[in-house]
Structure 1
Amino acid sequence: MNIQQTAFVTGGASGIGRATVLRLAEDGFRVIAMDRNTAAVEQLVKDAAAFDGRVVGCVTDVCDRKAISAILDSESRVDVMVCAAGIGPSHPFDEITDDEFRSVLEVNLLGVFIPAQEAVRRMKPGGRVITVSSRAALGGTGFAHYVASKAGVIGLTRAMAMELRQKKIAVNSIAPGFTDTGLTRAMSPDQHAAASALEPAGRPAAPEEIANSIAFFASPRTSFITGQTLFVDGGKSLGGLGL
C-alpha cells in the first residue's frame, strides 16, 4: 500500500481477532484492536511492539455505540472494519433462557451491526467490511442461539453489501469451522479431541489460518468482491466425508 490504511478489529485481543490484528499489521495496515479485556489488550500491544506502533489497543464494549464512534473518530481514516467479536455458549435447545438468547444475539449480531454501521458512515469508496460468521450458520446441535446469531450475521452481510455497492464499499464474511481459540479450549479435553476428530484434517483450524482469509478480503486488491461468505473449514461444509 502506498498510503497506509487503517483497519479496526473488534474482539481484537484474542483468538481469531488477535491473529487478524497481527496479520494486518504485517501487511502494512495501522490496526486498532478493540476488545473489552483490558489485560489481553495490553498484552497484544506488547506482543506487537515490533510493528513500530502500528498496533493500537482500545478497551471497549462492542455494543457501546458512543465508545465505538469515539474510537473511529480518533483516527484520520477508516478503511477496513473487521467484526470478529463474539461469544459461543453451549446449551441444549430446551434449556436456553430468554436472557441467554438475547445475550448471544446482542454480542454476535448487534455487536456486528453497530461497528459496521459506524464504520461505513466514515468510509470512502474502496472501504471494506469483513464480518466473522461461522460454519454453524448451516446448523448444529447444542447452541441454537449461536447458530441463529451467526446465520443473522450472514444475512446482515448480504444486506449491507447490496446497499453499499453503489458507494463502492465491499462487505464480505468469513465463516470459520472449528478453530483452536479460547472459546473452544473451554471445552473439556475429551470434547475438544472429539470435535477435532470430526474435522476433515483431523484438527481444528489455527486462528492464523482464519486471519489469512480475513486479510484477503481486507486487501484493496479484492475490493470488487462483495456480498460473499467464504467458508474456511477445511472442507467440512462440503459434506460427503464418508469413504
Structure 2
Amino acid sequence: MTQSSEHPVAIVTGSGGGIGRAIAVRLADDGYHVVVADLAKERAEATVDQIAEAGGRAEAAVLDLRDEVALSDLVLRLPRIDAVVNNAGIFDERALLDLAAEDFRRHYEVNLIAVFALCKAAIPRMQKGGKIVNIASRAFLGARNHAHYVAAKAAVVGLTRAMAMELAPSGILVNAIAPGLIETPLLQALSPERLAQQLALQPTGAAGRPEDVANAVAFLAAHRTDFITGQVLFVDGGKTLGGGLGI
C-alpha cells in the first residue's frame, strides 16, 4: 500500500496476530495508515491483507524490535508518525524459585527496553497531538508464577508515566492499557480446569476479546482524548475490583 502524507500513520508492534492484529485493524478502520510491525513476515502480511480487504491502508514492517538500527530505519522512511502502539511482548509462566536472572533480562529486553527504543526513535518524528499507547498488563499489580513478566510490565507502567511527564510540554500524550484475561492463543492453550479457575475470578464470568483492547487503544489514540496522559486504562472485565491473584 502506497503511503500518503495525507493520512495519519500508526505503528503497531506485534500486530501479526491476536491483540496486535485487532489493534491494527481498528486503527485502519479509523483512517490510519497502519505499519504492521512484527517479527514474522507471513503473520504481518496476513494482517495487511485483512486491512486491505476491508478498504484500509497498511504495510508490513518485518523487524526485531531489539534492533535499534532497524527501528531507526523504519521511522525515517515513514512520511509522518502520529501514533505508536507498543503491543509486542513475551510471556511464560514459571514459579519464582524456578526463574533465573536471565529470564528477567529477556523479559525486560523485549517487554520494556524495546518499548523505550521504538519511542526514542519515533518521538523526534512526532508532532503535537501525537499519541503513544503502551500495552502493559493487569498482571503488573502482582500475580503468581511469572514474577519476571510482572516486573517488566510494572516497569512499562512506570516508563509510561515518566514519558508522559517529559513529553507533555511537546503535546505528545502517553498512556498505557492493562488488559486482563483476553481470548488469545495463550488462553486457549490452558487446560479446561485452569481456564475454569481463571474465569471464576472474573466478575463478568468471561474473558475479553482482542477487539476490547483495540477499542481502548482507539479511544486513547483519538484527538477527543487529548486531555488524558500518564494514565493506565484497565481492560479486564472488572478484575481489578478484586477476586483473587490470577491474571
TM-score (norm 2): 0.92
Q: Partner of 1:173 in structure 2?
A: 176
Residue 227, structure 1, aligned to residue 236, structure 2 = no
Report the alpha carbon displacement of residue 197 of structure 1 after superposing the two structures with TM. Answer: 2.6
Alpha-carbon distance between aligned partners in 2 of 1:98 and 1:187, rounded to the nearest angstrom: 26
Residue 24, structure 1, aligned to residue 27, structure 2 = yes
Alpha-carbon distance between aligned partners in 2 of 1:194 and 1:59, rounded to the nearest angstrom: 37
Q: Structure 1 residue runs of 4+, over 4 Å off?
A: none
Q: Partner of 2:102 in structure 1?
A: 99
Change in 2 beyond 3 A, CA 1:107/1:186? farther
Report the alpha carbon displacement of residue 188 of structure 1 after superposing the two structures with TM. Answer: 2.8
Equivalent position to 1:58, from 42, 61, 69: 61
TM-score (norm 1): 0.94
Identity %: 46
Letter in 1 for 2:101: D
The secondary structure found in structure 2 opposite 1:126 is strand
- Aligned residue pairs total 239
Long gaps (5+) in structure 1? none
Letter in 2 for 1:150: K
Letter in 1 for 2:113: L
Report the alpha carbon displacement of residue 240 of structure 1 after superposing the two structures with TM. Answer: 6.2
Please say if residues 201 and 243 of structure 2, whose CA atoms lie closer than 8 Å, have aligned partners that are also in contact. Answer: no
Q: Summarize the alignment of residues 199-210 of structure 1 with structure 2, pairs less than 5 Å apart.
A: 199-210=202-213
Q: Partner of 1:124 in structure 2?
A: 127
Residue 11, structure 1, aligned to residue 36, structure 2 = no
The secondary structure found in structure 1 opposite 2:81 is coil
Report the alpha carbon displacement of residue 115 of structure 1 after superposing the two structures with TM. Answer: 0.9
Equivalent position to 2:161, from 158, 165, 178: 158
CA RMSD of aligned residues (A): 1.4
Q: Partner of 2:93 in structure 1?
A: 90
Q: Partner of 2:220 in structure 1?
A: 217
Report the alpha carbon displacement of residue 31 of structure 1 after superposing the two structures with TM. Answer: 0.5
Long gaps (5+) in structure 2? 1-5
Alpha-carbon distance between aligned partners in 2 of 1:14 and 1:7, rounded to the nearest angstrom: 16
Alpha-carbon distance between aligned partners in 2 of 1:207 and 1:225, rounded to the nearest angstrom: 23
The secondary structure found in structure 2 opposite 1:82 is strand
Please say if residues 25 and 51 of structure 1, whose CA atoms lie closer than 8 Å, have aligned partners that are also in contact. Answer: no
Please say if residues 164 and 229 of structure 2, whose CA atoms lie closer than 8 Å, have aligned partners that are also in contact. Answer: yes
Letter in 2 for 1:237: T
Change in 2 beyond 3 A, CA 1:51/1:119? farther
Report the alpha carbon displacement of residue 184 of structure 1 after superposing the two structures with TM. Answer: 2.5
Letter in 2 for 1:41: A
